[in-house]
Amino acid sequence: MDNRIAVVDDEVINLTNIRMILGSEGFKVSCLRSGKDLFKFLEKNIPDLILLDIMMPDMDGFEVYHALREFEEKIDRAQVPVIFLTGDNDSETERRGLSAGASDFIHKPFDRDILLARIANTIEQSKTIESLAEEAAIDKLTGFLNKASGTDRIRELCGSNRGALLLFDLDNFKLVNDLYGHDCGDRVLVSFAEIMRENTRTGDVVSRIGGDEFLAFFPDMSDERAVASLSSRLNARLAEKCRELMGDDFDVPIGISCGASMVPAQGRDYENLFLGVDQALYKVKQGGKHGYGMSGASGVNDPGTVYPEVSDPEEEMERLTRIYEERGTGQEAMMLSSDAFSWCCRYIMRSVKKNGQSAGKIVFILKPANENADMVAAEAEFSDILKSVLRKVDIFTINKSCHFFAILPGLGRDETREMMDHIRKSWEKTSKAVDTEVRCAAGEVSFPEDEV
């Protein structure tokens, strides 16, 4: 048996008896005379269980217990289960210990069978809880942390460590599912996880936050060249692995896009950092995929993308159509980056003018009603409302923080105002951001008289 037990008792005879009983059953036993000795022991050791006497000089068992929990929280260490040892049969003492969070009580003088049974039960329960907690935190397909546990861990790292926050998205992954089946798609995800492990260190944290999206924190990564090198390696290895899985005729341009933010150079607030890497990733997607982008910069795309040679125009048309229809037609309005919105807006304006149509425009500005307003959450929530309420032919962008601009092809001034009022009412009815107010204005796209 490899379990290590730390026994804290100021009476030598008790330590000797427990050592003999537990040692005969294969336990590794460390005998300590005081709370001070325990904390010195814990600096380099993590026992599976602590047997803690209540009646001790200097610090009694309850004081040691509370100091232990504070110590574990301070260094972010899992709690070691504690069984109190006592010669007191007072039920109030037992109630106090259990209320504090102790796993069990063992009364002196010790009964060998009871001592062993309670220790075995406590260790087994602790291991079960630890196993269940670990299982609940892990994504079963990839073995990475799941979204909830991964986000919590990475948020902590952003707040205290130097490094890089990276958001990865698999390019054209939906096309793999559509053409080769979801089982094959799962194999691609597993392969990507293996490739990530080949390119990460012990202290790096990776989390699967969506179907084909992964968030990671790389401590001490502070150079854009490291991000570029990682992006190049991941893209090369994934393309190679997919050809191994599907054969040399595999023609889906699979790859990886990545958005990166440097911590603390671009701050420590997790929500703002994530928004930055998300926007950087989006620009990479819009700019050709298979590369990386730095938050707050134009980014650099990997030049190594290789597309299959196709000589038949009909075949190429079918292939490209599948690629550009990757995300489906969708039932929501499109949220675009500022650059993409600018080009789409110009196209829409040319189209509606040429065809003698109209187009509406709406501006929304979110304002904090008080200092408690969470504007990051409000912005995300308002974006979701715009996606669901606007038509799927409409487009909008976040021009700057909490400033939204929407273009609505085919709508006149009155219809646009009706849409604006509908969106505002939807916000007021469903929003959880009670500390945020919405200001808005609506109009119709106009064209100068001399415009050709």
Output the domain CATH number for residue 95.
Answer: 3.40.50.2300
For the ranges 18-22, 50-54, 134-138, 213-217, the lowest mean pLDDT is seen at 134-138
pLDDT in the model for residue 445: 82
Residue 154 has pLDDT above 90, yes or no: yes
For residues 367 and 402, membership in a common domain is answered with: yes
Domain boundary residue among 137, 172, 197? 137
For residues 411 and 303, membership in a common domain is answered with: no
Range among 158-162, 248-252, 292-296 rated most confident:
158-162
Q: Residues with Cβ < 8 Å from 437, sequence gap 6 or more?
A: 366, 367, 369
For residues 320 and 355, membership in a common domain is answered with: no
Residue 452 has pLDDT above 70, yes or no: no
Residue 143 has pLDDT above 70, yes or no: yes
For residues 181 and 293, membership in a common domain is answered with: yes
Question: Residue written as tokens 């537990």?
Answer: 22
- 47 within some domain: yes
For residues 386 and 416, membership in a common domain is answered with: yes
pLDDT in the model for residue 305: 38
pLDDT tens figures, 216-241: 999 998 888 889 989 999 998 998 88
Question: Could you tell me which residues are beta bridge partners of residue 215?
Answer: 167, 207
pLDDT in the model for residue 300: 41
For residues 163 and 113, membership in a common domain is answered with: no
For residues 216 and 300, membership in a common domain is answered with: yes
pLDDT in the model for residue 219: 93
pLDDT in the model for residue 41: 93
What percent of the chain is predicted at pLDDT more than 90? Answer: 33
pLDDT tens figures, 85-141: 887 776 777 777 777 778 888 888 888 888 899 898 888 887 766 665 555 678 888
Q: What's the pTM?
A: 0.46
pLDDT tens figures, 263-322: 999 899 998 899 899 988 988 887 778 889 998 654 444 433 334 455 678 776 776 665
**Domain span at residue 99?**
4-137
- 451 within some domain: no
Separation CA 73–CA 437 (nearest Å)? 39
**Helices 173-180/313-324 angle, 10° precision:** 120
- 452 within some domain: no
User: What is the separation of C-alpha 429 from the centre of its chain, rounded to a whole number of angstroms?
Assistant: 29
Residue 258 has pLDDT above 50, yes or no: yes
pLDDT in the model for residue 297: 52
For residues 312 and 349, membership in a common domain is answered with: no
pLDDT in the model for residue 331: 64
For residues 158 and 292, membership in a common domain is answered with: yes
Total number of domains in the chain:
3
For residues 103 and 57, membership in a common domain is answered with: yes
CATH number at residue 189: 3.30.70.270
C-beta neighbour count of 359 within 10 angstroms: 21
pLDDT tens figures, 405-444: 999 999 999 999 999 999 999 988 887 766 888 899 999 8
Domain boundary residue among 137, 156, 183? 137
- 159 within some domain: yes
pLDDT tens figures, 190-215: 999 999 998 888 889 999 988 899 99
Give the confidence band of 170 by pLDDT, cuts at 50, 70, 90.
very high
- 112 within some domain: yes
For residues 153 and 132, membership in a common domain is answered with: no
For residues 245 and 183, membership in a common domain is answered with: yes
C-beta neighbour count of 159 within 10 angstroms: 12
- 72 within some domain: yes
- 329 within some domain: no
Handedness of CA 60, 66, 72, 74 (dihedral sign): negative
Q: At 375, which amino acid appears?
A: M
Handedness of CA 181, 183, 184, 186 (dihedral sign): positive
Residues in the chain: 452
With H, G, I as helix, E, B as strand and everything else as coil, classify residue 133: helix
- 351 within some domain: yes
- 101, 102, 193 from 98: Cα distances, Å: 5, 5, 43
User: What's the mean per-residue pLDDT of the chain?
Assistant: 84
Domain boundary residue among 267, 297, 324? 324
